[in-house]
Amino acid sequence: MSPQNAGKPASKGLVTGVVVFYLVAALSMVMANKWVLNTTDTPLFFLQMQLMIAVILFLFSDTMRFLPDRLTFDLKICKGLVPMVGLNVIGLSFSNYTLKYVDASFYQVARGLVLPFTVGTSFIVLHSRPSLRIILACVVVTLGFFVGVFLDGTHVSLVGVSFGVVSSVITATHSVVIKQSLNVVNGSALLLSWYTNLLSAIVLVPIIFLAGEVPGVIKLLFGVDELVRSAGTMSALQTFLWGSAITGVLGFLMSIASLLSIKVTSPITHMISSAVRGVAASLLGMWLFHDIITTGRASSIGIILFGSLYYTWVKHQESQPAISKEYDRVPMDDVEAGLRKENPKPE
């Protein structure tokens, strides 16, 4: 990015295209992830496979000169991206665990506290004091979260909800850290995505051992039960391999889409697009996985969406300059002097 364009705002067409691109990639990612996580007990190994496939696609694209920037590997940059990589690994891991323990239709509710945590993080890190209307929007969203957790007629996994809450905290912090991490790679979202995927895949190796997933990985790859397929369905290993390939490609697109979304828009727009994605994911979960949408769950999603939309409207209103501040009151003597000058008396 050149200095001349650094401060130039993105066009509406570019912003719209990036947001739509992010929504499609992210929504497809959630559905594909849920499909695989329903059949595997190794969510971290599955995540590493996704990251490794994304890394391979980065290297292939770089070799074929498909990318606008050449990929590099600089230890100084790696050190500067330690907070970014740490949050990325934790955030993706907890998101996978959340999706494993809750229905796809409940995923939006389990991670419904992203908005309040985003506002709180902006206040703590960026010293951005929220207005009363912003706080009201956060209260509405928080109310929607508690409605979904405690008033839902179906069984809710508290473990999944806990993972969702932690994932929401990481997501809120992540949007701020991405903005700061772009400075480490001279504003290149592509290089930031490359380093994040590569380093996250490396960091996950010891975590998989510490999490005790090695026996599950061995069972998945060499177990007899995982190779057996029922009539009309794939085996667990086939599902894992196909799912890894699909989500790996989607993850490659998703990593670029999410970073571009934050770079050319704002953390707020990125968060709102995530909320819209969550609602669509709930409807697709009902259709693809036969999830049950109870009145409590539907009300929760509706309240969270309403609070998010109200928040967006308030932020738009607050960003508009006040008309009264654009004009200074002119003394009446100056007005009369100007009128006399424009309409001189005949002699």
Burial class (CB in 10 A: 0-12, 13-18, 19+), 68: exposed
- The dihedral formed by the CA atoms of 178, 182, 187 and 191, expressed in degrees to the nearest 10: -90
| 4-31 pLDDT tens trace | 444 455 667 777 777 777 777 778 888 8
Give the pLDDT of residue 235: 79
Neighbours of 198 (CB within 10 A): 20
Give the pLDDT of residue 154: 76
Give the pLDDT of residue 2: 41
| 227-269 pLDDT tens trace | 665 545 777 888 898 989 988 898 788 766 665 665 666 656 6
- Residue 69 token pair: 């920037």
Give the pLDDT of residue 225: 66
Alpha carbon of residue 264 to chain centroid: 14
Give the pLDDT of residue 8: 56
| 294-344 pLDDT tens trace | 888 888 888 988 888 888 788 878 877 654 444 444 455 544 555 454 455
Q: Residue length, the chain? A: 347
Give the pLDDT of residue 195: 94
Give the pLDDT of residue 327: 42
> Which uninterrupted H or E stretch holds 261?
helix 236-264
Give the closest residue to 200 by CA, choosing from 169, 232, 174: 174
Give the pLDDT of residue 46: 93
Q: In 105-119, which positions are buried (b, 16+ CB within 10 angstroms) versus exposed (e)? A: bbbbbbbbbbbbbbb
Residue type, 28: S
Give the pLDDT of residue 5: 45
Give the closest residue to 315 by CA, choosing from 270, 254, 253, 259: 270
Q: Which residue has the tokens 């932020």?
A: 315
Residue type, 229: R
Residue 53: partners with Cβ closer than 8 Å, 6 or more residues away: 244, 245, 248, 249, 251, 252
- What's the N-to-C CA distance of the chain in angstroms? 65
Q: Among 31-35, 45-49, 125-129, whose mean pLDDT is lowest?
A: 125-129
Give the pLDDT of residue 312: 77
- The dihedral formed by the CA atoms of 35, 40, 41 and 45, expressed in degrees to the nearest 10: -90
pTM: 0.77
- Residue 282 token pair: 């709930």
Give the pLDDT of residue 287: 81
Give the pLDDT of residue 81: 94
Give the pLDDT of residue 69: 79
The pLDDT of residue 153 is above 90: no
- Spatial contact of 210 and 217, defined as CB atoms under 8 Å apart: no
d(CA 220, CA 96): 18
Give the pLDDT of residue 274: 64
Give the pLDDT of residue 164: 93
| 99-150 pLDDT tens trace | 899 888 888 788 889 889 989 988 888 788 899 999 999 999 999 999 998 8
Give the pLDDT of residue 265: 64
